[in-house]
A and B are shown apart, each in its own frame.
Chain A
Amino acid sequence: MAADVQGRHALIEVREVTKNFGPVTALDRLSFVVRPGLVTGFLGPNGAGKTTTMRVILGLDHPTAGTALVGGQRYQEITWPLHEVGSLLDANALHPGRRARAHLMSVAQSNGVGRRRVEEVLELTGLSTVADRRVRTYSLGMKQRLGIALALLGDPPVLVCDEPVSGLDAEGVVWARELFRSLAAQGRTVLVSSHLMSEMALTADHLVIIGRGRLLADTPIDRFVESNTRSDVLVRAPRAKELAELLRGRGASVRLETDGALAVTGLGSPQIGELAAEHGIALHELFSRHASLEQAYLDITADSVEYRAGRPAEPGKVT
């Protein structure tokens, strides 16, 4: 049905994809949909399967089971896919002896993209003046820009980028962030992976989080923030029980921490302090706590971290 094709034109659909590398299951029945008009942040710890997922979407790896569709088609079935999907997997993946312009030109030719567009993307990524240098002389940041230039060659409605800001300097990170946001604002589908929540918090509208090849979260970023970043006030007082009653009387909710401290939500530190003073209750500690987005992300992926650095043992603590 034509309407259906139109509706799915810029969707990325990952359906029940499993990918085994020998005995290792890299992706385990992973399903999610990436929609147009948004920057979708693809998050997960190292080894979670982000790159493998993108390689399956781009038809580079054959899934053991399941399918990945772009615009309703399997990637392998698309002719001249640069016009449908722009991608950047690894900015270092180019012949170091080739000049940047020739590199772009060779890829452009394979998809019927003209010389003028090559110059346009060089201009867009700020590489025009260095386009005739051999790529071996490029910094990682310049290679990232070249990779983004290549992804944009076909002016595609869908963009898939693996860690596109790693290696960029501060200015480059802001540039890339704004580029992705404006591409999404034009109605394109933008899937950008990162292992850093902090970066995605600034770039993404939607989050897909995976760990050990499984989907952990697929949610708009504001909802993720809302449901995962509780902030509360920690109160320590000798007359904790009495204070708790008073706080509840003011509509706050109070939870007793294991060490006897009160975790209060619904009232800020100033009001709590005032209330205690009114009733002559001494406070030993009054402390606003904010669980960061980063912390929420760490909590969600904690069970699925593949490689974890050992922590130095705490002295005198026997576990």
Chain B
Amino acid sequence: MAAMDVAPVSRRRRPVPSLGLRARGLLASEWTKLRSVRSTFWALVVAGVTAVGGSGVVAISMALSQRGSALPRDPLASIFFAWLEYPVLGVGILGVLAFTSECSTGQIRTTFSAVPQRTAVLVAKASVVGGAVLVLGEALAFASFFLSQAVLAGHASQLSLSRPGEVRAVLAAGLSLAVVALVGLGLGALVRHTAGAVAAIPAVLYLPLLVLSLPSPWADRIGRYTILMSAYQLVSLHRQPGLLSPALSLVVLVAWPALLLAVAAIATSRRDA
């Protein structure tokens, strides 16, 4: 090279950081991002209020209507079914925003120039968003359970964690929130536009339910592979007719966000940022 009249700074080649160190850094980074914007707080407030409030309303109406009437076979499933309408939207939007807020602001270019391994960024986002919503979801699920238990105490249909399947149902309710948050993240990364991705959440959650109006047996054959029906099976104490086994329902429930995120990772790596 041509003579340089300025002495170059002497630099040693930086040792390549270990995978663990890189993963920890990336998770810390995404965690900082998630908790440093107010939209996270509000999305979680919406999810929390609608989750506990929704379950409470269902439990109260159950308690009121039960005087003397036959007990519902599975009160817990009814209580958590309320979750699949409103709280899922709150956490779904949280998942969407984790990606699209970076697109709309241009932050994503800073993110990808700091970490050009884009799939790793998406995995870190999924871990942080999924992990945070899972913890919150389980907390809300147990809160809903104990609230409903208190409301229904002394009535015909009582709740008890010692009954077989009830713990599983409560855990599954929390998990379903994390699943929808990750579906939101996947949609956000694919659509890269907040309004579009938010609109896609109900499309993914509820539109497949249209198959339920198909003539039987097709309604069940297809319907059991939807997010809502597999979540419904998991929060039920009993095997729902026409649906998959709880174990297979769990696989279906987890496969949805996994597939969406895999497609989103491929798209994200190929596209210009």
Chain A contact residues, CB within 8 Å of chain B? 5, 7, 9-10, 35-38, 55, 58-62, 75-85, 87, 89-90, 92-99, 102-103, 105-112, 150, 157, 184-188
A102 in contact with B107 given A97-B37, A112-B21 (CB within 8 Å):
no
Stretch of B1-9, B194-202, B215-223, B225-233 on the interface side: B1-9
Q: Is the CB of A93 within 8 A of B106?
A: yes
Closest 8 CB pairs of A and B: A93-B106, A110-B29, A102-B36, A187-B8, A37-B6, A106-B32, A187-B9, A109-B29
A61 in contact with B8 given A99-B36, A110-B115 (CB within 8 Å):
no
C-alpha gap A60/B6 in the complex (Å): 31
Q: Is the CB of A58 within 8 A of B115?
A: no
Q: Is the CB of B106 within 8 A of A37?
A: no
Partner of B16, one of A79, A93, A106: A79
Q: Is the CB of B106 within 8 A of A82?
A: no
A157 in contact with B9 given A90-B109, A94-B110 (CB within 8 Å):
yes
C-alpha gap A89/B9 in the complex (Å): 25
Interface centre among B2, B36, B110 (most CB of A within 10 A): B110
B245 contacts across to A, CB distance below 8 A: none
Q: List 21 A-B contacts (CB under 8 A).
A: A37-B4, A37-B6, A38-B6, A59-B116, A62-B270, A75-B116, A77-B116, A79-B117, A80-B14, A80-B25, A94-B110, A95-B101, A97-B39, A98-B36, A99-B36, A105-B32, A106-B36, A107-B114, A108-B29, A184-B6, A187-B6
Partner of A106, one of B11, B13, B29: B29
Q: Is the CB of B36 within 8 A of A35?
A: no
Q: Is the CB of B102 within 8 A of A95?
A: yes
A10 contacts across to B, CB distance below 8 A: 8, 11
A97 in contact with B113 given A110-B25, A184-B6 (CB within 8 Å):
no
A106 contacts across to B, CB distance below 8 A: 29-30, 32-33, 36
C-alpha gap A292/B2 in the complex (Å): 29
A87 in contact with B113 given A187-B8, A188-B9 (CB within 8 Å):
yes
Partner of B32, one of A61, A87, A102, A150: A102
A61 in contact with B106 given A109-B29, A187-B6 (CB within 8 Å):
no
B4 contacts across to A, CB distance below 8 A: 35-37, 187
A59 in contact with B38 given A37-B6, A105-B32, A187-B6 (CB within 8 Å):
no
Q: Is the CB of A90 within 8 A of B116?
A: no
A61 contacts across to B, CB distance below 8 A: 272-273
A112 contacts across to B, CB distance below 8 A: 17, 21-22, 25
B113 contacts across to A, CB distance below 8 A: 58-60, 75, 81, 85, 87, 89
B112 contacts across to A, CB distance below 8 A: 59-60
B38 contacts across to A, CB distance below 8 A: 97
Q: What's the nearest-Cβ distance from chain B to residue A308, in Å? A: 28
Q: Is the CB of B22 within 8 A of A9?
A: no
C-alpha gap A310/B129 in the complex (Å): 52
Residue of A with least CB distance to B2? A35
Partner of A92, one of B1, B33, B106: B106
Partner of B11, one of A85, A103, A157: A157
Q: Is the CB of A93 within 8 A of B25?
A: no
Q: Is the CB of B6 within 8 A of A185?
A: yes
Q: Is the CB of A76 within 8 A of B272?
A: no
B203 interface contact, C-beta 8 A: no
Residue of A with least CB distance to B6? A37
A79 contacts across to B, CB distance below 8 A: 16-17, 22, 117
A107 contacts across to B, CB distance below 8 A: 29, 110-111, 114
Contacts beyond the supplied A76-B117, A111-B25, A112-B17: 10 A-B pairs with Cβ under 8 Å: A38-B6, A62-B272, A79-B16, A81-B114, A93-B106, A93-B110, A98-B36, A110-B25, A185-B6, A186-B6
